[in-house]
Every structure is written in C-alpha cells, then in structure tokens.
C-alpha cells in the first residue's frame, strides 16, 4: 500500500523584493509516492538544489505548503525540523561528509546516537547497514583507508541506519569515478527494490536514467515530469 511521502504545494522561494526579487522556486507542486525512485534534473540555477533543501527540511518556503510523510513541516521551527530530518530523511551528499579519524561503524552510528538509541542497538543497526552496502569487512576502517566509492557507501549506510521514509541524494556521484558511480547506482537500485523511496538530485543524464521517474526544472519551475520509458517494463 503506497502513500505520499513528498507533497509540495505551490511552493514559492523568493530572495529579495520588488524588481530585484529572484524566485528560486516559482509555484512548484510535486507529489512523490512511497517506493518511487525519482531523479530531479536541471542546470545550475534551475531551482533543483533549492527544492532539495525544502524536501530535506533544510530550508523554509516563502509561501506554499510542504508535507513530508503526511506531516506539515512548512511552519515548523528549527528544533522541530531537526527532529524530522533525523527521523524521516537519510541524506547523501557529494562530499560524503564523513567524520575523519573515526571508523566506518562509528560514522554510521552517529545519527542513531543523536536519536538517543542505546549502544547495543546502534551497533547492530549500523553493522546491518554496512552489510547492506557491501562493507561488512570495512567496519573498522577510517575514511582515509577507504576509496571514494567506499566512503560514499558508508554515507549511504549512515543514511539507511535511521530507517528513513526518504533517501535524498544530492549529486551523489559528483566525486566518484565511473566504476564507483556505476556501483553506487546499482546500490540505489537495490535499495529502491527493497521498497525505499529514493530521490536523486543530479545534472548528469546517465545518473538520472537509472531512476523510474525524471523531473526536469528550469527557472524555478518544473518543465517536465515523466516516467522513464527505459524503466517502465
């Protein structure tokens, strides 16, 4: 039984006022159901990063509404947003954002510690997440002992460990070589096949082509929203 994970309604994000006003989002409405795999594409300045920040509860709208997993978060304060981010969203960034001189296992445990989960369960969930991404034999390695592709897999494991409603990846292949990119996208396929909602922000066609639905943006608006014919079968 699917439900709506992301529901953005007439989203406006405005910077400045009057004639100098810039609309990073200009009346965007978007729904994403549980279990979807969506790529959001667009050139620099198209609004895709602003939309990601809204979907990730990292920024507020000027006007409009945003519901995440049925919860209206448009009017939440920073403390409330922080709780929602921790429980509902798994983030994956281009730069990995791992803590240096800290093992892979400890990096994956960190968001669980913020949630107040006890040590034994933290370790169990972090270990399981690292197994899912194929790094069961690298749990005690620090970031400098891992390749770029392996570091990004640790970041994916960290995102999965909180059991989020939404996996949100911002240009996740930007720092990876072609083989590591292919391996990471295979991993996203597996995660999505297991029922997780995956949204990838990218400007790369080959990355977007792995998604089942491709949304294109320009000048703060959605200009196309189509199922990927290659993934329809």
d(CA 29, CA 59): 16
Give the H or E element holding residue 113. helix 104-114
d(CA 125, CA 160): 9
Residue with tokens 């790529």: 39
d(CA 208, CA 150): 21
Per-residue 3-state assignment (H helix, E strand, C coil) for 18-67: HHHCEEEEEEEEEEEECCCEEEEECCCCCCHHHHHHHHCCCCCCCEEEEE
Q: What is the pLDDT along the chain (233 residues), one digit of tens a residue?
A: 789 999 999 999 999 988 899 999 999 999 999 999 999 999 988 999 999 999 999 988 999 999 999 999 887 888 888 888 888 999 998 888 899 999 999 999 999 998 889 999 999 999 999 999 999 999 999 999 999 999 999 999 999 999 998 999 999 998 888 999 999 999 999 999 999 999 999 999 999 999 999 999 999 999 999 999 887 65
Let me know how many helices (H) and strands (E) the chain has, helices first: 7, 10
d(CA 33, CA 47): 21
Taken in order of first residue, the domains within the chain and their CATH numbers are 36-49+77-231 (3.40.50.300)
Q: At what angle do helices 119-132 and 104-114 cross, to 10 degrees?
A: 130
């Amino acid at each position: 039984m699917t439900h709506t994970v992301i529901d953005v309604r007439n989203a406006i994000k405005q910077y400045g006022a009057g004639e100098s006003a810039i609309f990073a989002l200009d009346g965007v409405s978007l729904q994403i159901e549980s279990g979807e795999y969506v790529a959001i594409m667009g050139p620099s300045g198209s609004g895709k990063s602003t939309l990601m920040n809204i979907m990730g509860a990292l920024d507020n709208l000027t006007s409009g509404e945003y519901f995440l997993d049925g919860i209206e978060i448009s009017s939440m304060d920073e403390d409330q947003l922080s709780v929602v981010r921790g429980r509902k969203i798994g983030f994956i960034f281009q730069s990995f954002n791992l803590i240096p001189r800290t093992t892979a296992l400890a990096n994956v445990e960190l968001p669980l510690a913020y949630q107040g989960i006890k040590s034994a369960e933290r370790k169990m969930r972090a270990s399981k997440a690292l197994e899912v991404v194929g790094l069961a034999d690298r749990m005690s390695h620090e970031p400098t002992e891992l390749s770029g592709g392996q570091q990004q897999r640790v970041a994916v494991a960290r995102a999965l460990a909180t059991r989020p409603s939404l996996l949100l990846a911002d240009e996740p292949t930007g720092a990876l070589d072609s083989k590591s990119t292919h391996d990471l996208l295979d991993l996203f396929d597996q995660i999505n096949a297991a029922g997780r909602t995956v949204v990838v922000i990218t400007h790369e066609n080959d990355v977007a082509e792995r998604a089942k639905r491709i949304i294109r943006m320009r000048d703060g608006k959605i200009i196309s929203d189509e199922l990927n014919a290659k993934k329809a079968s």
